[in-house]
Amino acid sequence: MASDTRDRILDALERTLVDVGVAQVTLEGVAAAAGVSKGGLLYHFPTKEAMLAAMVRRLGERGDARLADAVAGGTPVAEWYLADPDETGDSAEMDLFRSTVAALRSADGRHDDVHRAVVEVLRSWDEGLRAEIEDPVTAEIVRLVGDGIYLGAMLGLPKPDPELHRRVVARLLGTKNP
């Protein structure tokens, strides 16, 4: 039960961050959105910073699990990282995207623990790319392109044609275009 409440609170926090940004996040507002009392929220998260850091760490756990599933299914780390979140059609992938957007919106530079948590999550994903891609320059290019894909989606920027996106990924990874 406590885990369900904790997840409801973190889900409400994510929705709030995506909708209005970190400056508008209040403990009272998140509690109301989660359907819990402020005291119930404080039982799980004594501060706004603790709540934000827990949300980012949950993103890391979920991202690691999704990556492990993708790799177990035969998808290389780099292809997973470069996937267009809108093109996957996978609701769990879209949930991960929403969580990533919320985490990035939470990193406002005023919360050291939150900033550290965001850096830890992103560094762990970098390690997967560097482990898979021998050339560190190519691994860094893949990371930067993947970050750009997410940022573009987050900002609602025009996306490239899906076929062009596939060709970019194929060229970057040195694979044949499907």
For 14-31, how does the pLDDT look when each residue is reduced to its tens digit (9 = 90+)?
A: 999 888 888 888 999 999
In this prediction, residue 19 carries a pLDDT of 84
Q: Which alpha helices (H) appear in the chain, and where do they start and end?
A: 2-20, 27-34, 38-44, 48-72, 77-82, 91-106, 112-132, 136-155, 162-173
How deeply is 157 buried, as exposed, middle or buried, from its count of CB atoms within 10 A (0-12, 13-18, 19+)?
Answer: exposed
* Model pTM score: 0.72
Domain contains 143: yes
Confidence at 96, pLDDT banded by 50, 70, 90:
confident
Domain contains 9: no
> Structural domain of residue 119, as residue ranges?
48-173
Domain contains 38: no
Domain contains 23: no
Q: Which residue has the higher pLDDT, 136 or 156?
A: 136
Q: What is the CA radius of gyration of the chain?
A: 17
Instruction: Please say if the pLDDT value at position 139 is more than 70.
Output: yes
Domain contains 26: no
Total domains in the fold of the chain: 1
| Number of other CB atoms surrounding residue 169 within 10 Å | 22
Please give the structure tokens belonging to residue 54: 């827990």
Domain contains 10: no
Report the mean per-residue pLDDT for the chain.
85
Instruction: Please say if the pLDDT value at position 40 is more than 80.
Output: yes
Domain contains 147: yes
Domain contains 11: no
Q: Which residues contact 129 (CB under 8 A, 6 or more apart)?
A: 77, 78, 81, 139, 142, 143
